């Protein structure tokens, strides 16, 4: 699985768990509400951005517990 697929899958799992829209998540993490729609259309992102999202998802999991 590539990073793009991994990120989209993690974001969708987060959305299902929390009910938070993908645009809201992207705004919170990188201040870019159009991020997910852009990468789903073929845009790219850095490994640093990927890590920021994964850190956010990990912290959110801890809060849900």
pLDDT score of 65: 59
28-59 pLDDT, tens digit per residue, is: 999 999 999 999 999 999 999 999 999 999 99
Cα 22 to Cα 2, 4, 15, 17, distances in angstroms: 19, 14, 7, 12
Residue with tokens 């997910």: 36
The answer to whether residues 26 and 35 touch, using CB atoms and an 8 Å cutoff, is: yes
The whole-model pTM stands at 0.91
Mean pLDDT of 20-35: 97
For 42, phi then psi, to 5°, come to: 115, 0
Round to whole Å and give the CA distance between 30 and 63.
20
pLDDT score of 63: 73
11: which 2 tokens? 């974001």
Residue with tokens 């640093």: 48
pLDDT score of 58: 94
pLDDT score of 35: 98
Q: Where are the domains of the chain?
A: 3-64
pLDDT score of 64: 62
């Amino acid at each position: 699985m590539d990073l793009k697929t991994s990120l989209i899958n993690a974001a969708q799992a987060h959305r299902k768990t929390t009910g938070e829209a993908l645009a809201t998540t992207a705004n919170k993490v990188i201040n870019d509400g159009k991020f997910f729609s852009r990468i789903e259309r073929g845009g790219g992102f850095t490994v640093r951005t990927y890590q920021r999202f994964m850190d956010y998802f990990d912290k959110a999991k801890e809060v849900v517990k």
